[in-house]
Amino acid sequence: MNNLTDGAIDTKVREKVYEQDYSPKPTIEGVVIVKIRNFVGENGDFSELMRLDEHGESELIPGFRLRQINRSKQYHKAIKAWHLHYKQDEMWYVPPDEHLLLGLWDVREGSATKGTLQKIPLGGGNSIGVYIPRGVAHGAANFSGKKANVYYFVNNQFNPNEPDEHRLPWDAAGKEFWEAPKE
């Protein structure tokens, strides 16, 4: 069988044909994706989300000392963005049987990746954690059709009298950032 060329494609669609881009996507300095092993058995599954040393510091993310663990639920079609912290780093985790699109935006002045936007799918059959350093704006969109839980581990306790919760409008990086891919 012979290979095709562009000339073998219907002239009505030929101009619209493009090749999928498989090149590495831009990443943000300091963001760490941690592969979490998910053990699946006949009666369920198990994931060890974070291992800490005797001082409460993460064994995989040096300098990250756990101070609080939180859970948030995001409804279908919800977009929760953008927010950032000045005094806190965090790690996000979504269970493998749920799904969220994590959005990251490096808004740190002086960062080598300042202005970089990054999307990371969480859950969706994968078991990963994402470490988000302070100054990286973040949020999530839920395209999954069901509610999704986000577990996040932080190195600073929340203080309602002095909240380290800084916000940007959800569409500050462009509303198209939060649109589901249409391929």
| Over residues 32-44, mean pLDDT | 92
Higher pLDDT, 89 or 39: 89
Cα of first residue to Cα of last residue in the chain, in angstroms, is 28
What is residue 181's predicted lDDT score, i.e. its pLDDT? 75
Contact 128, 38 (CB under 8 A): no
pLDDT at 18 over 90: no
Instruction: Give 52's pLDDT tier (boundaries 50, 70, 90).
Output: very high
Contact 31, 112 (CB under 8 A): no
Contact 111, 26 (CB under 8 A): no
Q: What superfamily in CATH does domain 27-178 come from? A: Jelly Rolls (2.60.120.10)
Contact 59, 67 (CB under 8 A): no
Nearest-angstrom CA–CA distance, 145 and 172: 25
Contact 92, 74 (CB under 8 A): no
Nearest-angstrom CA–CA distance, 98 and 52: 25
Q: Where are the domains of the chain?
A: 27-178
Convert the pLDDT of each residue in 59-76 to its tens digit: 989 999 999 999 999 999
- The pTM of the full predicted model, rounded to 2 decimals, is 0.88
| Over residues 84-102, mean pLDDT | 96
Average pLDDT, the chain: 94
> What does 110-149 look like in DSSP terms, one character per residue?
T-TTTT-EEEEEEETT--EEEEE-TTEEEEEE--SSS-EE
Convert the pLDDT of each residue in 108-150 to its tens digit: 999 999 999 999 999 999 999 999 999 999 999 999 889 999 9
